Amino acid sequence: MTAISDRQKLAYVNAQAADGRVNLEFETEEGMTLNMGPQHPATHGTLRIVAKLDGEQVIHCEPVMGYMHRGYEKLLEVRTYPQVNTLVNRIDWLGSFTNEVPFILASEKLMGVEAPPRAQWIRTILFELGRIANISLFLGDTALHMGGMTAAFYAFRDREFVLNQIEAVTGGRFHPNFDRIGGLKDDFPKGWIADTKAVMARLRDFCDEIEDLVVGNEIFQARTRGIGIIPGDIAQSYGLSGANLRASGVDWDLRRDVPVGLAWDQCDWTVWTHPDGDSFSRYWVRLQEVREATKIVDQLCDGLPSGPIMAKVPRIIKVPEGEAWVATENPLGEMGYYVVSKGDLGPFRVKIRTASFNNISVIPWVTRGVYVPDVISILASLYFILGDIDR
């Protein structure tokens, strides 16, 4: 009864053939092959996990990527600099503003422009708000994967307040497109700072709530403690970054270690590490990261300098010839842009280093020999976003 056009029929046949080819690659003779995804809640999008099982134990587990590959690096070659800004928002879609900042900083480095102090501080505030919006969802979502639905509702409830604050400044709930070469689009609206401090207090309450509800939960601890242990040297050799690395006991945070001109060095905050390296410690480190981020936002709101928010830049932006690399500490880990310019309106080539791509490369190592339910908790605690993996 469904009317299907010839075009749809052709697409269907092609699709079936492509699907068959993919399945052939993973045919095995011994054991059982378990497919998770590409549409599976534990994969935060469209990651496909192919696990070879022996009974309930995983012999080998391989992530199959590319279901969300949108060809970013090629697209950026045909966009102008302001247009790039719009597009890179959508790489890590939970904390969008954090994707814009490294690219803008790299472009500013090439142009020799520096944003005024107020712009840098506002950038830092929005960056940390993006971090809170990103990780607070993780805190609820991970509990959801372990079977606790309540925490996800709490996370969605309190995340809305952060999104409201971002929307009040930028006009977008989570694709702000607010950063400009040489500064920012606008200043804060009236009364925003007081509202934000109230929201930050609320978020700290949310962290306490999560600590009671999830971290103290016996089932959650049984599912995560001692599961998926990644030692520090293995984590470093696989190129892990961000909270995944800090949870393995490596004290490394780009915000503190590699200053890029933003205002993190102006405030008092702690980089938390955990010696265990298991799923639980990854969750715990991220929980502390949200707390620290609320503190950073509070301190920056108190000491916000006055002045202009835009440096002098030409109306038509042409970036002189050269190459620049800027990396910042994203909610997911190290994110950097290597921008090559030939003096045109748009970049000649952009290499994007995203954190999730390296973070999931450890999956085959960390899941060998674990049980199938533990794969879920490991995947959830590694915390990747598919746009960030495939770009």
Partner 1 sequence: MGLVESGKMPKPLTNLLNISRRYSIWIFQWGLACCAIEMGAALGSPRYDVMRLGVIPLPASPRQADLVCISGTVTDKMVPAIRRLYDQMPDPKYVISMGSCANCGGPYWDSYSVTKGVDQIIPVDVYVPGCPPRPEALLEGIVLLQERIRHEDMAERWKGDPIVVT
Residue ranges binding partner 1 (CB under 8 A): 1-4, 7-8, 11-12, 15-16, 18-19, 22, 38-39, 45-46, 66-71, 74-75, 78, 86-87, 90, 93-94, 137, 152-153, 156-157, 160, 173-175, 386-387
Residue closer to partner 1, measured from CB, 2 or 306: 2
Residue closer to partner 1, measured from CB, 3 or 24: 3
Residue closer to partner 1, measured from CB, 17 or 316: 17
Is 189 exposed, middle or buried (CB count within 10 Å of its CB: 0-12, 13-18, 19+)?
Answer: exposed
- Least distance (Å) between residue 15 CB and partner 1: 4
Residue closer to partner 1, measured from CB, 42 or 262: 42
Q: Give the integer Cα–Cα distance in Å for 236 and 214.
A: 28
- Least distance (Å) between residue 340 CB and partner 1: 20
Q: Give the integer Cα–Cα distance in Å for 273 and 268.
A: 17
Residue closer to partner 1, measured from CB, 4 or 316: 4
- Given a contact cutoff of 8 angstroms between Cβ atoms, the answer to whether 42 and 379 are in contact is yes
- Least distance (Å) between residue 329 CB and partner 1: 22
Residue closer to partner 1, measured from CB, 160 or 187: 160
Q: Give the integer Cα–Cα distance in Å for 11 and 9.
A: 5
- Least distance (Å) between residue 137 CB and partner 1: 7
**Closest of 372, 350, 274 to residue 104, by C-alpha:** 350
Residue closer to partner 1, measured from CB, 232 or 387: 387
**Closest of 39, 42, 26, 24 to residue 367, by C-alpha:** 42
- Least distance (Å) between residue 162 CB and partner 1: 12
Strand partners, 183: 180, 310
Residue closer to partner 1, measured from CB, 66 or 343: 66
- Given a contact cutoff of 8 angstroms between Cβ atoms, the answer to whether 355 and 239 are in contact is no
Judge if the upstream peptide bond of residue 102 is cis by omega within 30 degrees of 0.
no
DSSP state of 286: H
Residue closer to partner 1, measured from CB, 210 or 245: 210
Residue closer to partner 1, measured from CB, 77 or 186: 77
- Given a contact cutoff of 8 angstroms between Cβ atoms, the answer to whether 93 and 68 are in contact is no
DSSP state of 117: H
**Closest of 370, 49, 142, 359 to residue 234, by C-alpha:** 359
Helices (H), the chain: 6-25, 72-75, 81-88, 97-111, 117-145, 150-170, 192-210, 218-224, 232-237, 243-246, 254-257, 279-302, 355-359, 363-366, 372-382, 386-390
- Least distance (Å) between residue 19 CB and partner 1: 4
**Closest of 105, 86, 90 to residue 177, by C-alpha:** 86
Q: Give the integer Cα–Cα distance in Å for 170 and 172.
A: 6
DSSP state of 335: E
